[in-house]
Amino acid sequence: MNDKPIGLFVGRFQPFHLGHFLVIQGMVKMCRKVVIVIGSSQEQRTKLNPFTFEERREMIQRALQAEDIIPVYDVEIMGIPDVEGDEKWVEDILAKAGDVEKVWTGTPWTKECFEKKGIAVQDIKEVPGISATEIRKCMKEEGDWKPMVPKDVANYLIDIEAEEKIQ
């Protein structure tokens, strides 16, 4: 019997960055399975959500494959669209993700949503100086955003002309 939980990590990943990567690196050591949920999956090409679901999924897959997290560990990546109501949102995630036992989040709202359902929540801390908002700002202003994302994500973002998408 495996006493490690099934862990869930929800984020918009606009874009996937080193802070997200560090969380997943820790989760695979502590969980028998990691479910990564890409939130706002229907959103794309807006100021807050410039990347498509497929682009975000590709970023995550490339970063995890480069470090042999995929296929060595049991990791599943899925999308979830925004819905009306916190309870419905959590129910939709759990219906898709299965028997989640612990949620990793740095967002108070997400924490509250899952705790109301009786699911344990592990708080995560933001990596100082690294946030998706800051990365998008650097991309828009032609700053140096590459050190804030895994190398394979940086290469992918260059390939898909991410800076132009942010403009």
Domain boundaries, the chain: 6-166
* Whether residue 1 has pLDDT greater than 90: no
38-77, pLDDT tens digit by residue?
A: 999 999 999 999 999 999 999 999 999 999 998 888 999 9
- 6-166 CATH fold: Rossmann fold (3.40.50)
19-28, pLDDT tens digit by residue?
A: 999 999 999 9
* Whether residue 167 has pLDDT greater than 90: no
Reported pTM = 0.95
Length of the chain equals 167
Query: Residue 46's pLDDT is what?
Result: 93
H helices present in 79-161, as ranges: 86-97, 108-116, 132-140, 151-159
Confidence of residue 3 (pLDDT cuts 50, 70, 90): confident
Q: Are strands 75-80 and 102-105 parallel, antiparallel or unpaired?
A: unpaired
Structure tokens at 64: 């995890």
Interval 82-86 mean pLDDT: 93
Query: Residue 126's pLDDT is what?
Result: 87
Strand-pair partners of 76 = 35
Q: What is the rounded distance in angstroms from the CA atom of residue 122 to the CA atom of residue 114?
A: 11
95-149, pLDDT tens digit by residue?
A: 999 999 999 999 999 999 999 999 999 999 888 989 999 999 999 999 999 999 9
